[in-house]
Structure 1
Amino acid sequence: MTTTLRAGDVLDARSFTVTRADLVAYAHASGDHNPIHQDEDVARSVGLPGVIAHGMYTLALVGRAVAEWTDGAEVVDLGAKFTSPVVVPAEGGAEVVVAGTVKSVADGLATLALEVTCEGQKVLGMPRAVVRA
């Protein structure tokens, strides 16, 4: 890794546009063909506000941000609670923003405190990443 992380460093926020085409591609790659991720009527019939992104796809965007911030450092731990869905409109997309701060660096590991939002609302609870520093 060529990036040096120091406790307290604020990492530049990354923004990702999630489209319905992304959800179709992710469903094919992951094997998760739950219709709430592609069919508006099905999503609404189960009480959702519309088609939602796969939670693991949203978490994968966090991994992508971490990789960009750390020049591809080894990710030792990555996780979060899925607290609010990312609703993806039929036209255009939903913007997922990943922000972070280096919480600590010790014993060769950097712990990142993260915030993941869509339209200003947190969509992941307690997102965290630990990378080999």
Structure 2
Amino acid sequence: MTAKISYGDVEVGTELPAQDFTVTRATLVRYAGASGDFNPIHWNERFAREVGLPDVIAHGMFTMAEAIRVVTDWVGDPGAVVEYGVKFTKPVVVPDDEKGASIAVTGKVAALLDDNRVRVDLTAISGTDKVLGMARAVVRLA
């Protein structure tokens, strides 16, 4: 668990530690089981291509969950996140190999709000594609 970050410790422009998250086909199978989302675009390459996708893609909610980990790891308490939203801009394409795909996530404090809250803007990239847009979290700091 990370030490608690206090409101006085941050300013606009404070960068959160960047993280890279690997996603493989096995990751998608486990996520499908946990979430109940067995849409074949997340596990069946033939089906994914038939509907116009380049290959199997990661679940959008999985991608969103990986991105917010940068914030929860930084603040040390998932309960400190009071708002979170994204726009899905591109899918995370997951090849059928041992390497899988990578989601690189960075975050920066974009605004100091009232009541010890800050807005953190996130950037999530897979390959050369920005996969989340308008990814923003509001966090209550100690």
TM range (shorter): over 0.9
Match of 1:122 in 2: 130
Match of 2:4 in 1: 2
Does structure 1 residue 98 correspond to structure 2 residue 100? Answer: no
| TM value normalised by structure 1 | 0.95
Match of 1:37 in 2: 42
- Which of residues 69, 74, 91 is equivalent to 1:85? 91
Partner Cα separation in structure 2 for residue 62 and residue 35 of structure 1: 23
- The number of aligned residues is 133
Q: What percentage of residue pairs aligned between the two structures are identical?
A: 50
| TM value normalised by structure 2 | 0.89
The one-letter code of the counterpart of 2:4 is T
Structure 1's unaligned 5+ residue stretches are none
Structure 2's unaligned 5+ residue stretches are none
Match of 2:82 in 1: 76
Q: CA deviation at 1:11?
A: 1.6
Partner Cα separation in structure 2 for residue 114 and residue 34 of structure 1: 27
Does structure 1 residue 61 correspond to structure 2 residue 63? Answer: no
